[in-house]
Amino acid sequence: MQRRSNHLKKTRKLPYIILGAVAAVLVLIYAGGAIHYSTSNTFMPNTVIDGVNVAGKNVNQAQTLVNNHVKNQTFNLTEKNKVLKTAKYADAGLTSSDNKTIAKLLNKQNALMWPLQLVHAANADNTVNATSKAKLEEFAKKTAITLNKNRNTGSASAISATELASSSSKKDNKIISSTALAEEIKTSIAKGQKDIDLTKTYQSATVNSDDIQKQIKKYTAEKITYNINGTNVTIPSDTLKQWIVLTSKNDGTQTVSVDNAQVKAYLDDLNDKYSTYGASVTFNSTKRGSQTVKNEIFGWTIDTTTDAADIAQKIATGKDFTEKATISGSGQSLKKGELGSTYVEVDKTNQHMWYYKDGKLKISTDVVTGMPANNDDTPTGVFFVWNKKRNATLKGKNTDGSNYASPVSYWMPIDYTGVGLHDASWQPKFGGDWYKTHGSHGCVNTPPATMKTVYAEVALGTPVVVF
């Protein structure tokens, strides 16, 4: 009986032993986890930042994951539960914060509470903010213009120029304020909200003076012609309206002016369309038919900064006017895609140079261009004679690194890197395949007697097409 009693006692103690062992294991696991998360500098389970689970990641790893996620994120502009526009974070200058912010989030976590996050995610943190204020404001401005186009507003807007111009006339309606929109995007995204309520960006469109209204109508009714090298461009009325700025002062008074930045942006687009600098020209070469070559240093552009300020000032007069574009650069008489009838043609394939003046051939000669094997090939493009100099010494380095100094009688540079036309008394012959083994350092070597004529006949500013 005694043996049975002892056995029963041992049996009754077994569960407690097991429970104790389990508890000890759990304590060890808990302690190990706490030590790990307090020393490993990694995020605990189910930690979410900007919608990304960064569990087990260090600061740099978490930042990479967050950045890759955020750059592809979008937000919605909504009005009365209807999505009017969806945009990328990057379009509005919204990005995730830097490593310092991520590090702060890591330092905030309580390693002792790690088991709770196995079954319950940590509160999602949001690090996205407007890192580019200028980009956010520009996005809000353009968006407001677009969304306000079909809105009916009061007689005018005291918010901004373009918002005013985009609005028609009807009392007691609201338009979107670009300033309020930028602030609402910034605030909402910072809270982790991806739906931006446009009703919170409304601002009444009002004008407190009949004189202001008359002034606005006067400005927007002007006929403005912009003459670009003989081409007349009429500024559309809708474009002109977007340039008008209505500003409210602290005392409640309002003034009308012209937004120079918007005028310049418009002129920049015209410059891209009409200017010849960097554009390509197509011409009928002497031996190889039609050729298309890109303008390198040749061509002209519009001084849009100067013209924008001048146009803005003239609009304020309230009168129709024609503005002549301020042109700078070479070949100002030519339009886009044109080479003209006076030019120097250098054909590297045929190792020959021609000079045409008013469409008539004046000079024809074999030449030696740069040696391709030494990476000294004469550059291709449309250049121009920007200087002429007698008795110059051309200096540089040979392929082996040694210096050279070559005196020439006639020097006509055609680009800004040291390439030009010049006589080459050291060349025993010109043309053919001689350039392949005895080519220049990039210049167009010309027979001395012929180069004397070239120097005399070819004027400064003459385009030089090399192909």
> Do residues 147 and 139 touch, judged by C-beta distance below 8 A?
no
In 3D space, the residue among 212, 219, 213, 211 whose CA is nearest the CA of residue 239 turns out to be: 219
User: Catalytic residue among 7, 69, 352, 422, which?
Assistant: 422
Q: Is 188 exposed, middle or buried (0-12, 13-18, 19+ CB in 10 A)?
A: middle
Cα angle 434, 440, 445; round to 5: 80
Answer yes or no: 120 catalytic: no
- CA–CA distances in Å: residue 271 to residues 10, 98, 233, 328: 97, 39, 12, 12
Answer yes or no: 69 catalytic: no
Q: Are strands 327-329 and 300-302 parallel, antiparallel or unpaired?
A: antiparallel
User: Catalytic residue among 120, 352, 438, 443, which?
Assistant: 443
- Helix 99-108, helix 59-70: angle, nearest 10: 120
In 3D space, the residue among 208, 210, 215 whose CA is nearest the CA of residue 158 turns out to be: 208
Q: Is 143 exposed, middle or buried (0-12, 13-18, 19+ CB in 10 A)?
A: buried
Give the three-state DSSP class for 189.
helix
Give the three-state DSSP class for 310.
helix
Percent of the chain as helix, strand, coil, to the nearest 5: 35, 30, 35
Task: Give the C-alpha separation, 40 to 456, whole Å.
Answer: 79
Active site residues: 422, 443
